[in-house]
Structure 1
Amino acid sequence: MILSLLLLALIGGAALWLVLEPLRRAAPEDPDAPERTRLAAERDGLYTELNTLEDEARRPGLERRAALTLRALDGLPPASRARNPGRSRTLALAGVGVAALLTVAGALTFIPRWQLASLDAGEAKKVQAVLKLPALKETAQQTEKGADYLAWGRAAFDSANYDQAVSAYGNALKTDPRQPEALRRLGILLLTRGEQTGQQISAEDAQRAALLIRTAAQLAPEEPESQLLLGFALSRFGQDQDALTALERYRTLDPAGREADEVITAVRARLNQSDPALSLYAGSCASCHGAAGAGGIGPSLRESGLSRAALRSVTVNGKGAMPAYPKLTDAELKLLLDLMEKWQREG
């Protein structure tokens, strides 16, 4: 902290000297004055608009324009004006003070936004988490509150500081052992520790990780991440059908989520190789009813109350938006009906 203050004072002194030195002597009229005035007015207008903005969707565009305006101002040659030395020095000192305040405010508000504007959503989230991490860690260690430990753990997890995430979530569980987020994230970190360290995870640790993730899913079944991490863990243990059910549930809870796509594709491929009914279903039905029959564009087959005869009629003849499949052989139709009835029993 002291070193930072000294460095800031040194920079401020250098800036002050650079501002005051040209004022000791007269200079010719600034040829860039009209352009400088125009850019300064545009900058001030953008600042005003940003400070009073109500439509947040316009903020990134305005911030980019402000950044370009400041860049254009910085690109102009330094202005030199002949003024009264005493008055000029006073104005220069005041200008340096205002500039310092604007610089600090910009560093805390606009500059991070401009930097993040060039990143995708995932990268921007990671950068923001890294920036928040030290303060969140300090707060959690001071207050020892569960909510503060969770905030620290979340920032550490999102920024891939997994050692800190383990520490933060472990302390959160000491305050409340029924924290779904802490349970499932500790579980997945334990399960994937081998990928981070290059060491093989033991069977005991694998079972412990699975228990943490399952417990979190039971405590918070409606949270998308619970189903996502449960599906991932189940796939690691070779329980592909249960994994697919959990991952399809994740997609239902978070339709915009894409984190399960690769795992779902891999699980489907494994299932389709060993189960002809699933292979047939995947080719004709999964795009509407979900890979595990849990629903999607079309209704859930697991929640269906239709009889076998009704299922057969709808499959062969179609109904509403459901297309007909009259060319299915008797053997193929039997496979599909058996699969749908099985899902009805499972729910």
Structure 2
Amino acid sequence: MIFSLVLFALIVVAALVLVLQPLRGGVPADPDAPERGRLTAERERLYAELASLSDESRRPDLERRAALTLRALDALPPAPPPRERSGRTRTLALSGLTVAALVTVAGAVTLVPRWQLASLGAAEAQDVRDTLALPGLRRRAEATGDKGAYLAWGRAAFDSAQYSQAVTAYASALRLDARQPEALRRLGILLLTRPDQAGTQTGDQTPSPEDTRQAFRLIQAAAQLAPREPESQLLLGFALARFGQDADALAALERYRTLDPKGRDADELITAIRARRNEGDLGLKIYAANCASCHGPNGGGGLGPSLRASNLSRGALRSVTVNGKGAMPAYPNLKPDELNALLDLMERWQKEGS
């Protein structure tokens, strides 16, 4: 990237020289010379800083400032040409204009997208990069027939939500090597959730029962091949929940959170499963919906402390629950029967211990 920016700067300078050389003499002095000189110096300083940049986090800001400087230079009226160069031919001028056009095109496809990406979040910018890279990744995979190339294409397509391409890429990779956990689990979940991707639950997009079973087998195989990869347990949990196997789904999703403590992709599903399983116990239902994600499925602790090891009184438990404390949020909107059922549950766990 640094080499490209340096080359870009050299081309800009050469284009300016070529365009200015053939212009006729006999013109007044340049009234914008001071501002032009300041902007040109600023542009060269930014290019030099980009060329020697060691901290990549500063690159978007420097590129944005370089863009603004170039824009300000472009907004100035053309500078009068030097008198001593007034005899050059029209051909040289046309050559300069051609180079300038090429520079504009080069900037549009290299530097300008980076200015635009700088305004996006990290995840959004990566999705844009993945989408832009798809044609090249696909050509490389189809030209080489390489397993790694198909995986790279599938990964970029999956991450940028181009699911039809992801299915094609991962299926091709599995034909070359059937023991690839990433391709197995991602192809399985794509086949299993095909109606969700299409935004419809009816019509030709609905997978047949056999396709559904095959998709589930792919996800299971991936979890067996790579049981310690968080995504294997996450997608297995989603698949099990889809088939109504709540207990096994909850176990897989808890393993996912153990393998990736910062991962939050399973929180909503874990809460929904716990709520379904605890319909007959109001205290457990309230706990599953509001507390289990931090204090663990059975009150044994997780991100938050163990409720079984707590020695707080009922009044203290009520105060912390309603008003919050430290990192714990407040739950002031619980109904009296819900709050009492939750307090009964926590007191019961205190007696049971760990």
Please give the range of the TM-score, normalised by the shorter of the 2 chains: 0.7 to 0.9
Q: Would you say 1:63 and 2:69 are equivalent positions?
A: no
Q: Is the 8 A contact 1:129 1:155 kept in 2?
A: yes
How far residue 187 of structure 1 moved from its aligned partner, in angstroms, is: 0.8
Q: How has the CA–CA distance of structure 1 residues 233 and 295 changed in structure 2, closer, same or farther, with 3 Å as cutoff?
A: farther
How far off is 1:108 after superposition?
5.7
Structure 2: where are the runs of 5+ without partners? Answer: 1-14, 319-339
Alpha-carbon spacing, 1:88–1:80, altered in 2? closer, same or farther (3 Å): farther
- Does the alignment pair 1:155 with 2:156? yes
* Cα drift, residue 150 of structure 1: 0.3
Size of the aligned set, in residue pairs, is 311
**Match in the other structure for 1:177:** 178
What residue number does 2:241 align with? 235
Q: CA 1:283–1:234 in structure 2 vs 1: closer, same or farther (change >3 Å)?
A: closer
Do the aligned partners of 1:187 and 1:213 also contact (CA within 8 Å) in 2? Answer: yes
Cα distance change, pair 264–288 in 1 and its aligned pair in 2 (3 A):
closer
TM-score, normalised via structure 1 length: 0.73
Which residue type is aligned with residue 193 of structure 1?
R
Distance 1:32 1:324, change over 3 A: same
1:24 and 1:47 mapped to 2: Cα distance?
31
Change (3 A) 1:329 1:41: closer
Q: What does 1:186-205 align with in structure 2 at a 5 Å threshold?
A: 186-197=187-198, 198=200, 199=203, 200-205=206-211
- Whether contact under 8 Å (2:317, 2:343) holds in the other structure is no
How far apart are residue 144 of structure 1 and its match?
0.9
Q: Check the 8 A contact 1:150/1:172 in 2, yes or no.
A: yes
TM superposition shift of 1:291: 4.2
Relative to 1, partners in 2 of residues 1:69 and 1:254: Cα closer, same or farther, differing over 3 Å? farther
Is residue 333 of structure 2 the alignment partner of residue 332 of structure 1?
no
C-alpha distance in structure 1 between counterparts of 2:297 and 2:87, whole Å: 79
Aligned positions of 1:20-169 closer than 5 A: 23-24=23-24, 26-83=26-83, 84-86=85-87, 106-107=107-108, 109-169=110-170
1:289 counterpart (273, 290, 295)? 295
Question: 1:329 and 1:101 mapped to 2: Cα distance?
Answer: 70
- CA–CA distance in structure 2, aligned partners of residues 89 and 37 of structure 1: 26
CA distance in 2, matches of 1:146, 1:60: 34
CA shift digits 1:249-268 (9 cap, x unpaired):
33343344443343334334
Give a deviation string over 1:216-236, Cα, whole Å, max 9, x none: 122222222222222222222
Deviation at 1:269, TM superposition (A): 3.4
Superposition RMSD in Å? 4.0
Corresponding residue of 1:266? 272
8 Å CA contact 1:245–1:294 kept in 2: the answer is: no
Aligned residue number for residue 6 of structure 1: none
1:214 corresponds to 2:220: yes
Q: Which amino acid aligns with 2:345?
A: E
* Native 8 Å contact 1:217 1:226 kept in 2: yes
SS at match of 1:177: coil
Task: Identify if the C-alpha distance between structure 1 residues 35 and 194 changes in structure 2 by more than 3 Å, giving closer, same or farther.
Answer: same
Compute the displacement of 1:105 (Å): 5.9
Q: Matched residues in 1 for 2:300 and 2:214: separation?
A: 29
What amino acid is the match of 2:79? A
The answer to whether the Cα contact below 8 Å between 2:46 and 2:66 also exists between their aligned partners in 1 is: yes
CA distance in 2, matches of 1:138, 1:181: 21
Letter in 2 for 1:29: A
8 Å CA contact 1:228–1:247 kept in 2: the answer is yes
Identity %: 63
CA distance in 2, matches of 1:90, 1:329: 86
What is the alpha-carbon distance in structure 2 between the residues aligned to residue 184 and residue 340 of structure 1? 39
2:255 matched to 1:245? no
Q: In 2, are the aligned partners of 1:240 and 1:267 still within 8 Å (CA)?
A: yes
Aligned equivalents of 1:19, 1:88: Cα separation in 2: 11
Q: 1:19 to 1:206 in 2, by over 3 A?
A: same
Please, which moves more after superposition, 23-32 or 170-179?
23-32
Relative to the length of structure 2, the TM-score reads: 0.72
Distance 1:295 1:35 in 2: 65
User: Which amino acid letter does the alignment assign opposite residue 209 of structure 2?
Assistant: A
The SS at the match of 2:279 is: helix
Tell me, in whole angstroms, the C-alpha distance in 1 between the residues paired with 2:235 and 2:301.
20
Assess if the C-alpha contact under 8 Å between 1:249 and 1:294 holds in 2.
no
TM superposition shift of 1:295: 5.6
| Corresponding letter in the other structure for 1:169 | Y
Tell which deviates more after alignment, 87-96 or 32-41. Answer: 87-96
* Greater mean alpha carbon deviation, residues 268-277 or residues 51-60: 268-277
Distance 1:328 1:271, change over 3 A: closer
In structure 2, C-alpha distance between the alignment counterparts of 1:266 and 1:328, rounded to whole Å? 19
CA displacement 1:143-200 (0-9 Å, x = unmatched): 1111011011112222322222111111111111111111111111111111234333
